[in-house]
Amino acid sequence: MSSRALSLILPLFLLGACASHDPDDGSAPGSANQDRVPLGKADSSGSCEADGQSYCGGKSKGSCWCDTGCAKYGDCCADVASACDLSSGPSISFASDWSETVNGELTKGAEVTLAYDPERLTKCRGSQGGYQQWAITAQYRVDGGPVQSVVVAGNGATAEPRIALDHRGDLEIWFQNTNRWGCVAYDSNLGQNYHFDVN
């Protein structure tokens, strides 16, 4: 093999040997988190509470996870919002049984974590190349102010989606599910939206 051909192949080999690592995912290089991929409904199995044991903060016995990174990776167990308290401060849980639960006090100046179970909105899904091509976004406003948004599940979701309560009054929330192919669906309490008092 000529030295010119070797000089072209060697950089490609070295590039392929380098593994990427996201220092923000809380894992060390070479940890199991590097192998995490989004799970479809058919691939997701497990529970955050099984056989009298809690798996909150880690991986379930199945393929899904119960940690703060599961929203980012798209591999949360269906019951993570109801079974695990992964946040500090107030939170609002939107469970798959269509219940809403406020934990802590909603007060002006607080940051509220939204724990949204993606099983509430399943119409717009899809993946391409092994990556999620859908998202669920919370739209919200406080005391009639400007509408703001935060991604709570799917592509672009953070581990603990939070909203800032910058005013007292009515916190109004609704959710929109979209995918890259134009599908749109809503979770809006039958058009009335969800309302919570901020003191």
Look at residue 88 in the predicted model and tell me its pLDDT: 65
Gap between the Cα atoms of 107 and 128, Å rounded:
41
Gap between the Cα atoms of 196 and 143, Å rounded:
10
Q: What is the mean pLDDT of residues 79-87?
A: 71
Q: What is the mean pLDDT of residues 21-33?
A: 39
Look at residue 21 in the predicted model and tell me its pLDDT: 36
Look at residue 54 in the predicted model and tell me its pLDDT: 84
- Kindly give the residue spans of alpha helices, DSSP state H, lying in 26-181: 70-73, 80-83
Element (H, E) at 8: helix 3-17
Look at residue 33 in the predicted model and tell me its pLDDT: 52
pTM: 0.59
Q: Tell me if residue 137 falls in helix, strand or coil.
A: strand
Q: In 6-45, which positions are buried (b, 16+ CB within 10 angstroms) versus exposed (e)?
A: eeeeeeeeeeeeeeeeeeebeeeeeeebeebebbeeeebe
Where are the domains positioned within the chain? 43-86, 89-187
The string of pLDDT tens digits covering residues 30-80 is 334 556 666 655 456 788 888 888 888 788 888 888 876 777 677 888 787
Closest CA to 163 of 91, 113, 103, 90: 113
The string of pLDDT tens digits covering residues 96-107 is 999 999 999 999
23 φψ region: left (φ > 0), alpha (ψ -120 to 50), beta (else): alpha
